[in-house]
Structure 1
Amino acid sequence: MWYLMENVQRSYTLSERLLDAIGVTSLTSCIGGKNEKLVVEDLLREGADVNQAHGTFVPIHSACMMGNTEIVAILLKWGADVNQLDGFHRSALHYAVEKSGDCTQMLLQAGAETESRDLNRNTPLHWAAFRNRADCCRLLLQFHADVNARDRNDDTPLSWAAMKGNLESVRVLFEYNAQPDVMSHARMLPLTRVGILLNGGLYTDEDETCFELLTRGMGRIELRVRRAENPDALLLPLLLSRDVKLSGRLLDLCSAPRSLKTLTRFAVRRALGPTHLPSVIPLLRLPPSLRDYLLLEY
């Protein structure tokens, strides 16, 4: 019995040192004169448990947090569980997509679940879109991540990208036919999110382009709500009403009928469902100009 307890304690201590090594040696070139990879491999050979959590931290999560592909590769070789959840109910993939395309690809090839949810039901794709890691968004979608996954607030990855004006991520999500008309519990569309960004006044040309792209992707547009002070009228939310010029643009979008051409584009894209549109649309017997139109090029 004493022998077993001693072995458990030894393994736990080694695993704690492993976690420390990943956290420290990912930022420095060596510990005690040893290369970081050698330190980690030595600890694993001595009996460190590659999946042992300490507090909220797990070894492979820490390596992904650092974007350290070499350490991630070693941990995977020693049997790290790619779908283990840490104390925040996050998988290693949640961390990898914020930091490294290479780490993301390694985890996906090792069987990481794209639909893993954290405590707020956010998927890795939500976080990749929020951090504007368009490369990681593309990898996740290539591995069949749900492009329209909804978090606890019913926000999609497109909404998360829009709230930061992350143009490159919005483009990738639209390539995989993200739905731009999904409304959150707070009655916000992705277009509302980027509208709030523009309404703040401190926006870039990229934010404006993001707004135009989201407008192109929509069918009928309705951003107005019934406000408590005037429940009989449809008005823009207060967050969209501060900038007179912008609110005028938004009211025009809401009140003017969309063209039949625009509504048809929206209907065709909706009918195609979640798919990689640049691969599917060229198969349609359409003139090149109409294909480009369906792909939101203009």
Structure 2
Amino acid sequence: MPIKRLIQVREMPKNKSISVIENPEHLKVFKSVVFQSAREGKLNKLKDVLDSLSREEVKYIVSTVTESTTPLLMACRHGHLEIVNYFIEKCVADYEQVGSVTFDGETVDGAPPLWCAAAAGHFNIVQSLIKHGANVNHTTFSNSTPLRAACFDGHYDIVKYLVQHKADIEVANRHGHTCLMISCYKGHFKIAKYLLELGANVDRKSVKGNTALHDCAESGSLEIMKLLFLRYHAKMEKDAYNMTPLLAAAVAGHRNIVDFLVLRYEICKHEKINALELMGATYIDKKRDVLQALKYWNRAMEERYKDPRKVVRKSKPAELIPAYEYAVEAESAEELENIVSDVDVMRMQALLIRERILGPAHPDTTYYIRYRGAVYADSGNFDRCIQLWMYALDMQQRVLEPLNPMTQSSLLSFAELFSYMMSERNGQRVYSNLSFVDMKTVYLKGVAEIERAMSLSKPMPLQEKDMLNFNRCLQILMHLMNLVAKLDCTPDHAQIIKRATYKLLKLHPRGMHGYTPLHLAVDKETSAVGRYPVCCFPDKNVVSLLIDCGADANAIDINRNTPLHIAATCLKDNCEVMTFLIESGSHIDSCNSDNKTALELVKGACDICPMNYITLKCLSAKIIIQHNIPYRGHIPCRLEAFIEAH
């Protein structure tokens, strides 16, 4: 709004009521100016606006949350000390009121002003807030303290000041990560040393069992590693994945940490060999350095055979793995020399080593299998990619819990790959030999993942996080369904897909808002499932497949919307799917919780004549509802539901 208009608003005569608060238009103007001034540090403009208001109006506006944040939080985030003091001293702003702030693209919810100032490194604002009485240990929703925020970005002066004002150095966030752990992970030696001198617990474990030593190992902070290990005698513990700091450093590829611990840390021979072999695998997959990989694998061979009386043999798999092209691990330096010229064989060695040492449950095991498959796909070798990805997906569904994000990622990657392979370039399909067996197998695995997830909800309903994961998994499956529905396949193949889809529908899965698969099939929001486009919804092929397999065309969500209602909101200018749903039995006159029919939602954009589809039974139901005629107990139960839908 122009300044002239703003002045007119300010100069309006006040009565005893809080006029600005009661007038939405005026309130919106004032809030906008206050937030903009707090962000940009324009104190004079802020005073000019707020000084004309009553104390109650000022307090109301300053405490208003807009887009999950407050004016005070905004001033703290951008380092405007004078505005912070003005808000607290003149406007009586609540210096403990929380909101959301963004750092490096990450949104932190429930952040108090002191946390925000500490994270941003504004020492003078931290001082001011504490002098005014801010709680030095007030945490965010994820239980992060202002001290941890300062440790994260290495604000040493703020760390010292917070500690001097009784900040608790041992408060951990919801993941169990302490201030010492985060300073080690971020490589802030001075802060880590200061916390250790204060008596920080050097061996404390996070929820997943990692210690400060693990954080050093994963970040490559050798200087802090030496401090922890040599001066404070930190213990070499194992985390939830059975990983020691030495193995964690090898997986991360930090040569300085691995060489230091291998030479100075009293470890068992087996762990030393594992670390050297993992380091070689990391050089293959992460650093693409075959010569360095060979160097570390040779060092591991030397350790294996150093003592002829105590040779450490490699454990052999029960059977050779087709996805690795039946590769076997080298057993001697000579065998390593023979394969060094074949890069593909070396890559399979790395995958074999990682699976043997880390095991199938470790995230890096399947991650690098999928990474190697992606490299093959980039070079046009789709068959090798599918083979490796299928092996990784089998492994994930065998060892991980249902709805694990890694399993979902694998299913989505397959959908993206199949979509690309089925797309056309210059009038020709990118890949003409896409196997029905491969697509069918992945689709069946998607249905199996939903079935596994549904077993979790039988004892008790899914929690919010699990529900979000379930909804995402169901959306991914809808994209796989879209792809298989487009295939030109034999009647036998079509029956396989229909049986799997029938099995899915018999599970009665429900996503967010109580959506059934048929709701998702006609919802345009289903299209947005990943970073890259896969399939577009609504899709008639998917709707047809679901109807053929027994999907209820009149199923309702939590707002009593049928699939026809959802289609109406997505298809303002396209009636094909709506017409198909109606002809498949969807009642055109069913009302949602807002008492709206689908045709009322589409607002005349579709040229559908309702009288062509309304039956005498529908009209009878309408009459019963309109005249409040008692019907419960007087008609068959199946008709009661029919009447309620109208």
Q: TM-score, normalization: structure 1? A: 0.67
8 Å CA contact 2:170–2:201 kept in 1: the answer is yes
8 Å CA contact 2:119–2:149 kept in 1: the answer is yes
Decide whether aligned partners of structure 1 residues 220 and 39 sit closer, same or farther in structure 2, where only a CA change above 3 A counts: same
Give the 5 Å matches for 1:69-80.
69-80=123-134
CA distance in 1 between partners of 2:129 and 2:306 (Å): 57
Please state whether the residue corresponding to 2:262 is helix, strand or coil: helix
Decide whether aligned partners of structure 1 residues 135 and 236 sit closer, same or farther in structure 2, where only a CA change above 3 A counts: closer
- Shift, 1:103, TM fit: 0.9
Q: Would you say 1:90 and 2:144 are equivalent positions?
A: yes
- Shift, 1:254, TM fit: 7.6
Look up the match of 1:23: 77
Give the 5 Å matches for 1:1-298.
9=60, 12-13=63-64, 16-24=70-78, 26=79, 36-46=80-90, 47-55=92-100, 56=109, 57-99=111-153, 100-198=155-253, 207-221=254-268, 224=271, 239-240=278-279, 242=281, 243-250=293-300
Please state whether the residue corresponding to 1:128 is helix, strand or coil: helix
Decide whether aligned partners of structure 1 residues 175 and 77 sit closer, same or farther in structure 2, where only a CA change above 3 A counts: farther
> Which whole-Å deviations, capped at 9, do the CAs of 1:233-288 have from their partners, x for residues lacking one?
x967984452332234356568869xxxxxxxxxxxxxxxxxxxxxxxxxxxxxxx
- Shift, 1:11, TM fit: 6.2
8 Å CA contact 1:137–1:173 kept in 2: the answer is no
Decide whether aligned partners of structure 1 residues 134 and 223 sit closer, same or farther in structure 2, where only a CA change above 3 A counts: farther
> Which whole-Å deviations, capped at 9, do the CAs of 1:21-62 have from their partners, x for residues lacking one?
1123x2xxxxxxxxx221111111021121111242210111
8 Å CA contact 1:159–1:189 kept in 2: the answer is yes
8 Å CA contact 1:158–1:178 kept in 2: the answer is no
- Shift, 1:127, TM fit: 0.7
Q: Which amino acid aligns with 2:94?
A: D
8 Å CA contact 2:213–2:236 kept in 1: the answer is no
CA distance in 2 between partners of 1:254 and 1:142 (Å): 41
- Shift, 1:159, TM fit: 0.8
CA distance in 2 between partners of 1:17 and 1:45 (Å): 14
> Which whole-Å deviations, capped at 9, do the CAs of 1:199-255 have from their partners, x for residues lacking one?
xxxxxxxx4333333235522335549xxxxxxxx9679844523322343565688
For the pair shown, which has the larger CA radius of gyration, 1 or 2? 2
CA distance in 1 between partners of 2:156 and 2:275 (Å): 39
> Which whole-Å deviations, capped at 9, do the CAs of 1:118-153 have from their partners, x for residues lacking one?
111111111100100011101111221111111111
Please state whether the residue corresponding to 2:169 is helix, strand or coil: coil
CA distance in 1 between partners of 2:165 and 2:251 (Å): 39
Q: Which amino acid aligns with 2:87?
A: L
8 Å CA contact 1:50–1:80 kept in 2: the answer is yes
CA distance in 1 between partners of 2:303 and 2:95 (Å): 55
179-188 or 133-142, which moves further after superposition? Answer: 179-188
Please state whether the residue corresponding to 1:151 is helix, strand or coil: coil
Decide whether aligned partners of structure 1 residues 221 and 251 sit closer, same or farther in structure 2, where only a CA change above 3 A counts: farther
Please state whether the residue corresponding to 1:214 is helix, strand or coil: helix
CA distance in 2 between partners of 1:88 and 1:209 (Å): 33
Q: Which amino acid aligns with 1:51?
A: E
Q: Which amino acid aligns with 2:265?
A: M
CA distance in 1 between partners of 2:201 and 2:304 (Å): 29
Percentage of matched positions with identical amino acids: 21
Q: Which amino acid aligns with 1:157?
A: A
CA distance in 2 between partners of 1:48 and 1:62 (Å): 16
Q: Which amino acid aligns with 1:149?
A: R
Decide whether aligned partners of structure 1 residues 21 and 254 sit closer, same or farther in structure 2, where only a CA change above 3 A counts: farther
Decide whether aligned partners of structure 1 residues 224 and 54 sit closer, same or farther in structure 2, where only a CA change above 3 A counts: same
Decide whether aligned partners of structure 1 residues 97 and 53 sit closer, same or farther in structure 2, where only a CA change above 3 A counts: same
Query: What is the number of equivalent residue pairs in this alignment?
Result: 230
Q: Which amino acid aligns with 1:213?
A: F
8 Å CA contact 1:94–1:124 kept in 2: the answer is yes
Q: Which amino acid aligns with 1:174?
A: F
Decide whether aligned partners of structure 1 residues 224 and 117 sit closer, same or farther in structure 2, where only a CA change above 3 A counts: same
CA distance in 2 between partners of 1:156 and 1:165 (Å): 14
Decide whether aligned partners of structure 1 residues 254 and 49 sit closer, same or farther in structure 2, where only a CA change above 3 A counts: farther
Decide whether aligned partners of structure 1 residues 159 and 251 sit closer, same or farther in structure 2, where only a CA change above 3 A counts: farther
CA distance in 2 between partners of 1:149 and 1:12 (Å): 39
Q: TM-score, normalization: structure 2? A: 0.33
Specify which structure has the bigger relative contact order, considering alpha-carbon pairs within 8 angstroms and separated by 6 or more residues. 1
Give ranges in structure 2 of 5+ residues lacking alignment. Answer: 1-16, 19-54, 101-108, 282-292, 308-646
